[in-house]
Structure 1
Amino acid sequence: MEKALQIENLAIKIYREKKAMGEAAANNVAEKLKIAIDERGGANLILATGASQFSFLEALQTKEIDWGKITVFHLDEYKGISDSHPASFRKYLKERILDQVAPKKIYFLNGDAEDLEGEITRYEKALTLHPIDIACIGIGENGHIAFNDPAVANFKDPKLVKVVELDEACRNQQLGEGWFPTFNDVPKQALSLTIPAIMDCKAISCVVPDERKAQAVYDALYNDINTNCPASILRTHQDATLFLDKAAASKIY
């Protein structure tokens, strides 16, 4: 580890490169899951997607985790996209970790459900019945967490899941990461866990690599806590850790 910081409640750990960052985050998550399993006989986990999570998910699979006692949720899914679409987050998670580790139960958020309100109700009920031990998240280039872009983020949202409009910066990020061939192919809406759904989790592990995230990281840590940078709310959580590589931390030290 290159450096450790504490800003308000948020622990920040900075690593020289992505592999070490992902390994450290995986160790943290594995420990939280083990504690929950030892205490209650099971654990509930939220996983994130996107290019930022590659090193973390790769490392997580190498840890001694009793996946047969873990129920898995995820943060978001594009509206109208099937689980066979190349950009589907359900497809991403199946291919990158879930098919390999075989959790006890997986709750997928179906962005292509015919009855979206019914899908939201179903997912909210499942989340309520499975209090989350640790949420694994990232921060977007626009400061979002999940798909809570600045214009739609609400720190006091009454919902746990909602349909959101994706802003131009968010859609450009999805294009830039290579998930879609053109900007017009990037969906304009998605289903997303809300900020209260994330903040209600017992612990949060936030993994953020790459220089393109450096400004969002700075804003999350040093600007006012408000929805101009939704990730700033992480500074108020009682057990949250931000894992950065040196590039993502380049504006903070």
Structure 2
Amino acid sequence: MPTPVARFTAESLPVEVYAGEADLGAAAAERAAATIRDAVDRRGAARVVFATGNSQYAFTDALREQKIPWDRVTVFHMDEYVGIAADHPASFRRWIKERIAAPFAPAAVHYIDGDAAGPEAECARYEAELRALPLDLVCMGVGENGHLAFNEPHQARFDDDRWARVITLDLRSREQQVGEGHFATVDEVPATAISLTVPALLAAGAVQVCVPERRKAAAIAATLNDPVSPACPATILRRTPHATLLLDTDSAGAIDLPRIDLPRIDLPR
């Protein structure tokens, strides 16, 4: 596993910083593989939720180098646009098919049907699938506005009793999708999506949060320093000791890093 250039805790959240995106991805892949193998050893199967998007490319590419019993793994994803077809270039179902299902052939993949006739009924159906058995691992990122999945600032509920909801996308989230090249204009980005809620994302035995790139630096600074509140949903990670936040030096560019000879410090609350 690559060696982090810095390691510290932010309240209860372990944070590791790597020299670059490739090292971050390799470390995340090795960590995820170990968690999956442990679940399979203990229970004979593993259930894993994967984020989609550009920030997860290095991680999912590095998974190809890992020994994982994919024939024992059930895969979920964490959001999908309402009204979008599964073959749309920006569909998260398509992302999962191309980057997880096709190369790894897991035992099962449960997709959120974004163009289901009834989005609320689809939320209930997917929630039932998620709750059927324990989740072992959630692999996710942090949005440019601090969202987790599509739990948007001031909309996210840390105590939500639901595990899947229809949400309205924040303008910043829609602009991020354009900036990442998934849509040509903001007007083309769907206004709503089905998203796993914050309690669902944090329900797994292990939570792995991979956040590379300079464009995420402000969101990471807010995650680690702002008051814990739905104003920046990712701040809840500081209350999540079973999560690990993995950064590269670009995404960590707006925070003060500890010296390498001080491997663990606590950030001010």
TM-score by length of 2: 0.92
Partners of 1:237 and 1:105 in 2: CA distance: 28
Superimposed CA distance per residue, residues 104-138 of structure 1 (whole angstroms, 9 cap, x where no aligned partner) = 11110111101222211111111111211010000
Q: Residue in 2 aligned with 1:31? A: 34
In the TM superposition, residue 61 of structure 1 has moved relative to its aligned partner by 2.2
Q: Given the alignment of the two structures, is residue 146 of structure 1 paired with residue 149 of structure 2, yes or no?
A: yes
Q: Given the alignment of the two structures, is residue 238 of structure 1 paired with residue 248 of structure 2, yes or no?
A: no
Q: Given the alignment of the two structures, is residue 79 of structure 1 paired with residue 82 of structure 2, yes or no?
A: yes
3-state SS of paired residue (1:20): helix
Q: Residue in 1 aligned with 2:160? A: 157
Partners of 2:64 and 2:78 in 1: CA distance: 19
Q: Given the alignment of the two structures, is residue 185 of structure 1 paired with residue 188 of structure 2, yes or no?
A: yes
In the TM superposition, residue 27 of structure 1 has moved relative to its aligned partner by 0.7
Read off the aligned partner of 1:65 and give its amino acid letter.
I
3-state SS of paired residue (1:39): helix
3-state SS of paired residue (1:61): helix
Match of 1:9 among 5, 9, 12: 12
**Gaps (5+ residues) in structure 1?**
none
Read off the aligned partner of 1:82 and give its amino acid letter.
A
Q: How many residues align?
A: 253
Q: Given the alignment of the two structures, is residue 105 of structure 1 paired with residue 115 of structure 2, yes or no?
A: no
Q: Residue in 2 aligned with 1:58? A: 61
Q: Residue in 1 aligned with 2:252? A: 249
Read off the aligned partner of 2:9 and give its amino acid letter.
Q
Q: Residue in 2 aligned with 1:43? A: 46
Read off the aligned partner of 1:203 and give its amino acid letter.
A
Q: Given the alignment of the two structures, is residue 216 of structure 1 paired with residue 194 of structure 2, yes or no?
A: no
Partners of 1:151 and 1:99 in 2: CA distance: 36
Partners of 1:119 and 1:221 in 2: CA distance: 34
Superimposed CA distance per residue, residues 57-104 of structure 1 (whole angstroms, 9 cap, x where no aligned partner) = 000122100000011000100110011000000101111221110111
TM-score by length of 1: 0.98
Partners of 1:67 and 1:241 in 2: CA distance: 23
Superimposed CA distance per residue, residues 128-164 of structure 1 (whole angstroms, 9 cap, x where no aligned partner) = 1121101000000000000001131010112100000
> RMSD across aligned C-alpha pairs, in angstroms?
0.8
Partners of 1:192 and 1:97 in 2: CA distance: 19
Match of 1:119 among 113, 119, 122: 122
Q: Given the alignment of the two structures, is residue 92 of structure 1 paired with residue 95 of structure 2, yes or no?
A: yes
Runs of 4+ with >4 A deviation: none
Read off the aligned partner of 2:252 and give its amino acid letter.
A
Q: Are the equivalent residues in 2 in contact too, given 1:58–1:97 (CA < 8 A)?
A: no
